[in-house]
Amino acid sequence: MPYTAEIFASAIVAVGDFNPAIFSPDWLERNGLIGKDDADNAREKDPSKSLLISHQVAAFETEWFALQILENQFSLTSKAALSPALKDLAAGIFQMVPHTPITAVGLNFMGHFKLPSEDTYHKVGDVLAPKDIWKSLYPDRSHGLADLTVRIQYAARGEPVKTNDEKRITVQPSNKFKFGKFGVYLAYNDHHDFTVAGSNDLSPAERAATVIDTEWENSWTDAVRVFDGILSMAIGN
């Protein structure tokens, strides 16, 4: 059976050299990247929200996204039901600042999956991280999966890697389920590296906008496939 996340989100993260002070709700609204309702929502003096615009950091949120920009990192995270509006906003921002030096973009998807029992919860960890070696090292202790990350590169083992692009899949216990409920957290990072010049005339920021626009939905589909595959193979249908 397909496994559906109780909580599913996306984050678009870029590494580069940013000027946080320009990325205000006013700037986004003025350039047609968000509407007046979103801009007003971001400007609300709500204690639960933190609007901060300075030379070191820009941070604010609306009902459906949270934006944080540091001098070396851009992060746009979904808050509501996931939609392509997230990638449209990120791509639109980078199109407005084409000369911003950007060295990498990560297309990230995160899911919290509730499991039916504690035994099922432990089965996931036992399949993905067999415990025999740990039982031999610590025979009188308990052993459990805390954090597993697998890197997928674009080359067969033993062959030279021709690109710094890669994917990373992470498995951890979920912290979203309480009171005797158990779950796992799965994260998918699709990393695109821009340190090597492209074959066209696009600037790194324009390349970032293009990757986000063309690859984000493909990464979303692949993340769902991978998450379901991990749980199906670990737990069984």
Percent of the chain scoring above 70 in pLDDT:
96
Strand partners, 109: 10, 188
Mean pLDDT of 155-173: 91
Tokens of 39: 């801009």
Percent of the chain scoring above 90 in pLDDT:
85
Summarize pLDDT for 54-110 with one digit per residue, the tens: 999 999 999 999 999 999 999 999 999 999 999 999 999 999 999 999 999 999 999
The DSSP code for 88 is H
162 C-beta neighbours (distance < 10 Å), count: 9
Residue 44's pLDDT band (cuts 50, 70, 90):
confident
Summarize pLDDT for 111-124 with one digit per residue, the tens: 999 999 999 999 99
Give the mean pLDDT of the chain.
93
- pLDDT of residue 201 exceeding 90, the answer is no
Assessment of whether the complete model's pTM goes beyond 0.85? yes
For residue 65, report the phi and psi dihedrals to the nearest 5 degrees: -150, 160
Residue 39's pLDDT band (cuts 50, 70, 90):
very high
Mean pLDDT of 131-139: 94
Residues whose CB falls within 8 Å of the CB of residue 184, separated by 6 or more in sequence, listed in order: 112, 113, 115, 121, 124, 171, 172, 173, 174, 231
Residues whose CB falls within 8 Å of the CB of residue 7, separated by 6 or more in sequence, listed in order: 110, 111, 112, 176
Residues whose CB falls within 8 Å of the CB of residue 175, separated by 6 or more in sequence, listed in order: 185
